[in-house]
Amino acid sequence: MTRTICAKTLLVGFLYGKSAWLLHPKTGFESKLLRTSEMVVIALVAASLAAGGVFAVVLSPPPSPCSGATGAIRSFTIMVDLTGYNGSQSHNGSWPVVSVQRCDNVVFTVINNDTQSHGFAVTYYSNAGLELVGGARQTLKFQATRTGEFQIYCTIKCSVHYLMQNGLLNVT
Ligand SMILES: [Cu+2]
């Protein structure tokens, strides 16, 4: 019996509390609602910031595999004339062939001994490459961050273009 009364008292108390809120919407109820919506906004902002952080991590490029590594400087001279790159006309297969270690700093010094323009490009590392007018001398520098075989080729349609399509850079 005592238990029943207690339960009834609690129920009445609960209902009274509820109706009190509903009867006075501009006091306790609304302020409670506002606080709740503020909490929701804060939670959404926090969530979007966290999501933004995740996206930033996903979208930013991975750190260079050579970051912190000081590779050796590897310099090569390429003479360009009517015999191709370093006389590639008289070589079967790839020529010139250049081999470096990954993370080496590669420096090509390209000298155009011809009167017409020639290009000098390296797949992946410098697809645009150099453009050298007759008599010009330019350097192409990059760090060999990726291993593999990369074509060295001319990008300018010249009279000996076919002699300048088969250079090779090996990065191991
Ligand atoms: Cu060419």
CATH number, position 166: 2.60.40.420
Q: 82 CA distance to ligand 1 centroid (A)?
A: 10
Q: 139 CA distance to ligand 1 centroid (A)?
A: 17
Q: 76 CA distance to ligand 1 centroid (A)?
A: 19
Instruction: Look up the domain containing 77 and give its range.
Output: 73-171
The single residue listed with the structure tokens 């290009």 is 119
pLDDT tens-place string over residues 137-158: 999 999 999 999 999 999 999 9
Residues 99 and 138 in one domain: yes
**Which of 30, 59, 88 is the last residue before a domain boundary?**
59
Token pair, residue 20, equals 């009190």
Q: Contact 113/84 with Cβ under 8 angstroms?
A: no
Q: 84 CA distance to ligand 1 centroid (A)?
A: 9
Q: Where are any strands of DSSP class E within the chain?
A: 73-81, 84-85, 97-100, 105-112, 118-122, 126-132, 137-143, 148-153, 167-171
pLDDT tens-place string over residues 53-99: 555 555 666 667 798 888 899 999 999 999 999 999 999 999 999 99
The model's pTM is: 0.64
Higher pLDDT among residues 49 and 100, named by residue: 100
Higher pLDDT among residues 166 and 8, named by residue: 166
Q: 89 CA distance to ligand 1 centroid (A)?
A: 13
Q: 164 CA distance to ligand 1 centroid (A)?
A: 6
Residues 81 and 48 in one domain: no
Q: Is residue 67 part of a domain?
A: no
Q: Contact 82/90 with Cβ under 8 angstroms?
A: no
For residue 60, the model assigns a pLDDT of: 64
Q: Is residue 64 part of a domain?
A: no
Q: Is residue 66 part of a domain?
A: no
The CA–CA distances, whole Å, from 90 to 82, 87, 96 equal 12, 6, 11
Q: 86 CA distance to ligand 1 centroid (A)?
A: 14
pLDDT tens-place string over residues 5-34: 444 444 444 444 444 444 444 544 444 555
Q: 73 CA distance to ligand 1 centroid (A)?
A: 27
Token pair, residue 27, equals 């006091």
Higher pLDDT among residues 168 and 13, named by residue: 168
For residue 101, the model assigns a pLDDT of: 97
Q: 9 CA distance to ligand 1 centroid (A)?
A: 97
Residues 86 and 154 in one domain: yes
Total count of domains within the chain? 2
For residue 131, the model assigns a pLDDT of: 98
Q: Is residue 68 part of a domain?
A: no
Q: Is residue 150 part of a domain?
A: yes
Residues 53 and 101 in one domain: no
Residues 165 and 82 in one domain: yes
